[in-house]
Amino acid sequence: MKIRTLNLLKNLQDKTVFLRVDYNVAVVNGKIQDDYRLRASLPTIDFLKSRGARLIIASHLGDPQGIVKSEYSLKPVAARLRKLLKSPVKFAGQVTGERVKKAILNLRSGEIIMLENLRFEKGELEDDESFAKELASFADIYVNDAFAVSHRRQASVAAIKKFLPAYSGLLVEQEVRALNKVLKPKKPLTVVMGGAKISTKAPLIAKLYSEADNILLGGGLANNFFKYQGKEIGTSLFDKDSAAFLKKYFVRNKLKSKIILPIDVVVQDKKGRVRVSLPDKVAKNESILDIGPATIGLYAEHINKAQTLVWNGPLGKFEDNSFKQGTLSVARLIAARSKGRAYGLVGGGETVSALNLTKMSEYVDWVSTAGGAMLSYLGGEKMPGLEKIISF
Ligand code: ADP
Ligand code: MG
């Protein structure tokens, strides 16, 4: 595999770099809830800035669908970046246009301007060439450090590369190297998967199946398997199309023997009563909301033997205190086993939030800032954002 890394850029002095980052963070009433995505981009910014480049930083925030909506403005994000860098960051207020162009032309070596939310423009979402050309017209070099959106065919990660020489940022490079370790794993490889939607996870389970020694399931994902086995799952979360998925990926290809399902579950009935149940003793008026204690024990045995660990998807509705134990236990087990005894990789929006609740993220080898993009990469899909930057 070849990556067009920043080290290939020998002279950056007074070059204008268009840096695509992923600052898609939760902003509530103008307050940023978690700035880890900003912090993850700092090494690339420092690299470019310290070599005298002029920087245009561009990101999306949420999905305003091509319409300007003030609650999706990147202004508070620019303010936070200023704090983190302890140096000025100009905010363009718009994505393109004469005023923005002028501000960019006035940038001096080492200075930074952040554009407004790219998704205020329909051209971004439609991967529109003339929009991409306009973005590119401001710069000499394009750097993609937005791994988390690299699975999307959108102008700032795809079409823009028709107009500028493209390179990978340091975060993209690190992400890709970390994910590659999992694709060629030290064995045993234990995969832990949970979360909500089987449609997004089934392809990945199928892809990792041959390398994996075992695949431990939980969350809404496991409910689909129970349902398929003809078990009563009451009012539990499940995908109504799951039977088709399970047939396509698992039954037809005989992918079953390595898949391990919970041996007990935590359920809640309509009146809010919570109990631990065997998977085949769930009542019609109950929902499965977590894995049970025996399952935690069983999963611990597998995790403690692994040399490579991959975890995506909470094992229960961990946002609710009554149903967080399974997810947090697995998070702690993975953190305890990682960095040394196993190579541990954790990714996914909610999964990383759950890991952060344990305050143990630093104990995991790689915590991916990407959810969907990580699944795409590991699933072997072609990613528009990596074209021309990474060759396999
Ligand atoms: P990630 O973003 O980490 O990839 P997902 O988006 O797949 O994870 O799923 C996360 C959500 O799934 C969480 O918000 C969690 O509450 C929910 N979830 C997991 N298990 C269950 C369950 N048994 N019942 C209801 N919701 C669940
Ligand atoms: Mg999610």
Q: Is 225 helix (H, G, I), strand (E, B) or coil?
A: helix
Q: What are phi and psi of 277, to 5 degrees?
A: -135, 155
- Average confidence (pLDDT) over 38-47: 97
Spatial separation of the C-alpha atoms in residues 290 and 311, rounded to whole Å: 16
Strand boundaries in 101-186, DSSP class E = 112-114, 141-144, 166-168
Per the listing, tokens 């085949």 go with 280
Find out whether the peptide bond into 203 is cis, omega within 30 degrees of 0.
no
Question: Which ligand sits nearest to residue 318's alpha carbon?
Answer: 1
User: What are the tens digits of pLDDT across the range 221-230?
Assistant: 999 999 999 9
Cβ 228 vs Cβ 246: under 8 Å: yes
- Give pLDDT, residue 361: 95
Residue 10, class by beta-carbon neighbours within 10 Å (0-12 exposed, 13-18 middle, 19+ buried)? exposed
- Give pLDDT, residue 379: 86
> Could you tell me if the CB of 317 is within 6 A of ligand 1?
yes
Spatial separation of the C-alpha atoms in residues 76 and 159, rounded to whole Å: 28
> Could you tell me if the CB of 288 is within 6 A of ligand 1?
yes
> Could you tell me if the CB of 61 is within 6 A of ligand 1?
no
- Give pLDDT, residue 199: 85
Going by pLDDT thresholds of 50, 70 and 90, the confidence category of residue 347 is very high
Share of the chain above pLDDT 70, in %: 100
Least confident range from 44-48, 127-131, 375-379: namely 375-379
Three-state helix/strand/coil letters over 314-327? CCCCCCCHHHCHHH
Question: Which ligand sits nearest to residue 319's alpha carbon?
Answer: 1
Q: Check pLDDT > 90 for residue 371.
A: no
- Average confidence (pLDDT) over 333-346: 97
- Average confidence (pLDDT) over 92-102: 97
Quote the radius of gyration of the chain (alpha carbons, Å). 22
Distances (CA, A) of 280 to 49, 256, 316, 373: 59, 19, 18, 35
Query: 75 alpha carbon to ligand 2 midpoint, in Å?
Result: 25
- Give pLDDT, residue 254: 76
User: What are the tens digits of pLDDT across the range 160-178?
Assistant: 999 999 999 999 999 999 9
Two structure tokens written together for 36: 């880890």
Query: 371 alpha carbon to ligand 1 midpoint, in Å?
Result: 12
> Could you tell me if the CB of 292 is within 6 A of ligand 1?
no
Per the listing, tokens 């268009």 go with 18
Residue 98, class by beta-carbon neighbours within 10 Å (0-12 exposed, 13-18 middle, 19+ buried)? exposed
Name the DSSP class of 160: G
Query: 239 alpha carbon to ligand 2 midpoint, in Å?
Result: 15
The protein residue with its alpha carbon nearest to ligand 1, atom 27, reads 317
Spatial separation of the C-alpha atoms in residues 234 and 322, rounded to whole Å: 18
Name the DSSP class of 338: B
Query: 52 alpha carbon to ligand 2 midpoint, in Å?
Result: 38
The amino acid at residue 320 is D
What is the DSSP annotation of 192-261? EE-SS-HHHHHHHHHHHHTT-SEEEE-HHHHHHHHHHTT---TT----TTHHHHHIIIIITTT--TTEE-
Atom of ligand 1 nearest to the CA of 350: 3
Atom of ligand 1 nearest to the CA of 354: 3
Spatial separation of the C-alpha atoms in residues 121 and 65, rounded to whole Å: 8
Name the DSSP class of 334: H
Atom of ligand 1 nearest to the CA of 352: 3
> Could you tell me if the CB of 372 is within 6 A of ligand 1?
no
Contacts of 9 (CB under 8 A, 6+ apart): 51, 141, 167
User: What are the tens digits of pLDDT across the range 178-197?
Assistant: 999 999 999 999 999 999 88
Spatial separation of the C-alpha atoms in residues 281 and 158, rounded to whole Å: 50
> Could you tell me if the CB of 219 is within 6 A of ligand 1?
yes
C-alpha triplet 297, 285, 247: angle, nearest 5°: 65
User: What are the tens digits of pLDDT across the range 102-129?
Assistant: 999 999 999 999 999 999 999 999 999 9
Question: Which ligand sits nearest to residue 314's alpha carbon?
Answer: 1
The protein residue with its alpha carbon nearest to ligand 1, atom 26, reads 317
Name the DSSP class of 186: P
Q: Which residues have a catalytic role annotated? A: 37, 197, 349, 372
Handedness of CA 339, 340, 344, 350 (dihedral sign): negative
Spatial separation of the C-alpha atoms in residues 32 and 78, rounded to whole Å: 11
Spatial separation of the C-alpha atoms in residues 30 and 43, rounded to whole Å: 25
Q: Check pLDDT > 90 for residue 247.
A: no
Name the DSSP class of 248: I
Spatial separation of the C-alpha atoms in residues 359 and 257, rounded to whole Å: 34
- Average confidence (pLDDT) over 351-366: 95
> Could you tell me if the CB of 224 is within 6 A of ligand 1?
no
The mean predicted confidence, pLDDT, of the chain is 95
Two structure tokens written together for 382: 């072609």
- Using CA atoms in the order 226, 232, 234, 235, what is the torsion angle rounded to 10 degrees? 30
